[in-house]
Amino acid sequence: MERRPTIVDVARQAGVSKGLVSLALNDRPGVNQATKERIQAAAAEIGWRPNPAARSLTSRRAYALGLVVKRDPRIIETDPFFAAFIAGLETVLSDRGQVLVLSVVPDAGAEERSYRSLAADGRVDGFILTDLLRHDRRIALLAELGVRGVTLGEPDVPTTLPAVRREYEDGIDDLVRYLAGLGHERIAHVAGNEDMLHGRARREQFERVAAALGIEARVVPTDFSPEQGADATRTLLALDPGVRPTPIVYGNDPMAVAGMAVAQGAGLRIPDDLSVTGLDGSQIGQYVYPALTTLDNDPVEWGRVVASTLLDLVDGHEPVDRSLTPARLIVRGSTGAPTPRL
C-alpha cells in the first residue's frame, strides 16, 4: 500500500521546518503569507491530506455533525427532501473537511439514546435538529448535554440555538388566492403531522387565508406519507359532488403525486376535474404529468445554510439566526379553473 504523505514530507518539499508546516496548515499565526502559500502548494503537490484521527486528538474536535431523524423509513424513502437536504449539507461539509453522522431511529426513546451516545462518545461537534415538534424535548436535551445545535425553523420553547428558517406564509397566501382566483370555492388541505411545527403552521396559514377569502375549507390530517396522502384523497373524492373540493392542497409534494395517481385512477382529469398542488417544491414534481403546482423550497439551500451556520458555531462564532429565500408559488399544469357542473 502506498505510504500516506506526512507533514515531514511537506516540510522537505517546501524546504521549511516541520513546526512551520504545522503552523501553516493549521492556519495559526507566526507564518508570513508567502511562506504559507508555498507550504500549501507543496502539500497539494505531494497529495498531503490532514489525518482526521490526529486532528481530533490535537483539537478535541470530531470534525463531524450529527443528524438524528425520527421518522418511519418508508416516509424518508419516498420524500426527496431528505436526499436533497443531505446533498446540500455535504457540499459544505466536504469542502471544509467534515463528515455527516446520520442516525435514523424509530421512536423517541431511540432518538434520545442516539443523541446521548453521540455526545458522550464525542463523535460529533453539534447536531442538526429537523422536524421540530411542539414543546420539543430535544432543545432541553442538547442544553443538558452541553452540545451545539441548529434548528430548521423556530422552536416554540426557549432556546439559545440558532435557527435557519424559511417564510411560507406569503407563498401559501398566494397559492390559496390563486386557486380562489381561478373560481374554486371549496378547497381541501391534506395536512401533515400536526405534532410537527411546520405541518401545523402550514395548516393554520391555509385556514386563515381561506377564511379571509370566504372559501369553504376542509382539512384531512396525515403523517406526511404518500400512503396516507392517497387514503386522504380517496376520502375526499368519495364525498358528495355538492360538497367535494375542486382543488386539493397537499402538505408535501410526494403526497400530491400519490393523490394525482388516485384521482387519475378514478377516471378524473387533472386539472379539468380536480386541481392538485404540493407545498415543498421537490424536483419530482416537474416530471409527473401534468407537472405539479407547488411552492419553491430548495432543500439543497436548506442544507448548505444549515451546515454553514452550525460549523460557524463550532468554530466559536456567536449563534446567528439565518433566513432563506421565502417560498414562492410555482404554477404548473396541475391546476386550472374548475369545470362548471351541468
pLDDT tens digits, residue range 199-234? 999 999 999 999 999 999 999 999 999 999 999 999
Task: Tell me if 263 sits within 8 A of 237, measured CB to CB.
Answer: yes
Q: Which three cell numbers stand for residue 182?
A: 381561478
CA-angle at 63, arms to 58 and 69, nearest 5°: 145
Are 220 and 235 spatial neighbours (Cβ–Cβ below 8 Å)?
A: yes
User: What pLDDT score does 74 carry?
Assistant: 78
Instruction: Find the range with the poorest average confidence among 11-20, 239-248, 305-314.
Output: 11-20
Starting at the edge strand that comes first in sequence, how are the strands of the sheet with 216-221 ordered? Answer: 216-221, 186-191, 247-250, 275-277
CA of residue 285 relative to chain centroid, distance: 17
- Please, where are the H alpha helices in the chain? 7-14, 18-25, 33-46, 52-59, 73-78, 80-95, 108-120, 137-145, 169-181, 197-213, 226-237, 253-265, 299-314
177/188 Cα distance (integer angstroms): 14
Beta bridge partners of 330: 294
> In this predicted model, what pLDDT tens digit does every residue of 257-267 receive, in sequence order?
999 999 999 99
Local structure of 35: helix, strand or coil:
helix
Chain-wide mean pLDDT for the chain? 91
- Please list the residues that pair with 148 across neighbouring strands: 126
pTM of the shown model: 0.80
Rounded CA-CA distance 237/257 in Å is 15
Give residue-wise pLDDT tens across range 272-306. Answer: 999 999 998 888 899 999 999 999 988 999 999 99
Cis amide prior to 271 (ω within 30 degrees) = yes
Highest mean pLDDT, choosing among 60-74, 83-97, 232-246: 232-246
> Cβ–Cβ contacts within 10 Å for residue 170, how many?
14
pLDDT at residue 97, as a whole number: 80
